[in-house]
Amino acid sequence: MIIILLGPPGAGKGTQAQRIETKQGLVQLSTGDMLRAAVAAGTEVGKKAKAFMEAGKLVTDEIVIGIIADRIDEDDCKNGFLLDGFPRTVAQAEALDNMLARKDLKLDVVIEMKVDDAALVDRITGRYTCANCNQGYHDVNLKPKVDGVCDNCGSTNFKRRADDNRETVSSRLEAYHAQTAPLLPYYKAKGILKVVDGMADIDDVTAQINEVLGSLS
Ligand code: ADP
Ligand code: ADP
Ligand code: ZN
């Protein structure tokens, strides 16, 4: 199965992707995570991407298309994958269509997570993750069961993203509306777009997504 999670920054894509990955055994491919790893490692890609990410702008299509093309060639993607944060422009969506066609694969579903802009600022400024296993948390909405200890791996180290601040959020939202939202009619026209209410509780959103996935098989 090949699934795309589409939605604005802070919509809950990463949170739900982690859950789908566990339940469906699909690899989660997050271009944001891949780019942050490249920046941290100081690779050529990381050097090119850093300034765009810090400014809340999209990295060039060429860079992210290259990353995804290489990644889906790997063995663990043979049985399908879940894309979180890619594609984000029509050019990226067209490049993905071409990559899949060449491999004789097809996109099963695009799930739009609909969330009001007003809710996104709180979600993004309250977001943090486990520094060891990348499990996502939120200051108010999703705390670890034991204060300061990761539920998943027991680590006591957590991190926040450099771009998760109020100033950058507005450019990221602008980029979403201008460059990514046009993907909604693009996938709707292909008849594979499903919409879930991302304003609901985290567990409720998971249930809505499971229902969508269940209706496909
Ligand atoms: P995205 O990957 O779309 O940018 P995340 O999954 O990282 O978004 O979620 C952003 C923040 O909001 C995280 O701190 C997460 O814990 C929290 N969050 C995710 N889904 C919900 C929800 N349905 N309701 C409230 N908070 C949520
Ligand atoms: P969020 O879901 O909170 O917006 P991501 O982790 O998906 O965050 O992305 C963080 C940043 O990485 C983006 O603001 C952008 O600079 C870059 N990025 C991630 N994926 C893409 C993509 N598909 N195309 C262009 N830039 C991307
Ligand atoms: Zn952890």
Determine the distance separating the centroid of ligand 1 and the alpha carbon of 81, expressed in angstroms: 20
The verdict on the CB of residue 35 being under 6 Å from ligand 2 is: yes
Q: Whose CA is nearest to atom 5 of ligand 1?
A: 12
pLDDT value of position 197: 98
Active site residues per annotation: 13, 88, 127, 160, 172
Query: Quick one: how far is CA 168 from the chain centroid?
Result: 17
Kindly list the averaged pLDDT for each block of 10 residues, start to end, along the chain of length 217.
Answer: 97 96 90 96 97 97 97 93 98 97 95 96 96 96 97 97 93 97 98 98 97 91
Determine the distance separating the centroid of ligand 1 and the alpha carbon of 60, expressed in angstroms: 25
Give the predicted TM-score (pTM) of the model: 0.96
pLDDT value of position 24: 84
Determine the distance separating the centroid of ligand 1 and the alpha carbon of 80, expressed in angstroms: 24
Q: Which residues line ligand 1 (CB under 6 A)?
A: 7, 9-15, 123, 126-127, 136-138, 141-142, 198, 201-202, 205
Cα distance between residue 71 and residue 172, in whole Å: 25
Cα distance between residue 27 and residue 51, in whole Å: 28
Task: Identify which of 164, 168, 165, 144 has the alpha carbon closest to the alpha carbon of residue 156.
Answer: 144
The verdict on the CB of residue 138 being under 6 Å from ligand 2 is: no
Exposed e or buried b per residue across 162-191, where buried means at least 16 C-beta atoms within 10 angstroms of its C-beta: ebbeeebbeebbebbeebbeebeebbeeee
The verdict on the CB of residue 29 being under 6 Å from ligand 2 is: no
Q: Say which ligand is closest to the CA of 205.
A: 1
Cα distance between residue 145 and residue 152, in whole Å: 10
